[in-house]
Amino acid sequence: MNQVKSSFQIVAATVSTLYFSLFAYGAFLFIQQFESIFDSFEAELPIQTSILLGSYRYWGVLGLISAFVLYKVNKGKSSRSMKLLIWLFVLSLLLVPFAIWGVYSPVQEGSGQPAT
């Protein structure tokens, strides 16, 4: 039973590491395109968009941390590592709606619709 649990943790850690790495890479490419569009607005951006544009370059840290967790899971210190991996996953799920909100807020404000 312990062997199955250990194998599951290694698979979960590997999938999470790939997810975080792809998430950070996709966010970098996607938000970078919006950043050039917002630069052409020559207007003050909402605070959430400014935070997003200032922080998205560092989201790759999630991939590095999850790779470190994968290394720890493989070495056998798995219970604390899996808790950290779960928290990282929750954090990345929270970053997705924040990114969408930050990117589309200036577009909604510019169109006259209230930004929610």
Write the pLDDT tens digit of every residue in 34-72.
888 888 877 787 888 888 888 877 777 776 777 777 777
What integer pLDDT is reported at residue 1 of this predicted model?
59
The answer to whether position 57 is within a domain reads: yes
Contact 60, 32 (CB under 8 A): no
Identify the domain containing residue 55 by its residue range.
Answer: 2-110
Section 74-103 average pLDDT: 73
End-to-end CA distance of the chain: 49
The answer to whether position 115 is within a domain reads: no
What integer pLDDT is reported at residue 28 of this predicted model?
79
What integer pLDDT is reported at residue 67 of this predicted model?
73
The answer to whether position 70 is within a domain reads: yes
- Does 115 have pLDDT greater than 70? no
pLDDT band at 101 (very low <50, low <70, confident <90, very high): confident
The answer to whether position 103 is within a domain reads: yes
Which pTM was predicted? 0.55
What percent of the chain is modeled with pLDDT above 70? Answer: 77
b/e per residue 85-95 (b: at least 16 CB within 10 A): beebbeebeeb
Number of domains in the chain: 1
b/e per residue 15-44 (b: at least 16 CB within 10 A): ebbebbbebbeebeeebeebeeebeeeeee
Total number of residues shown for the chain: 116
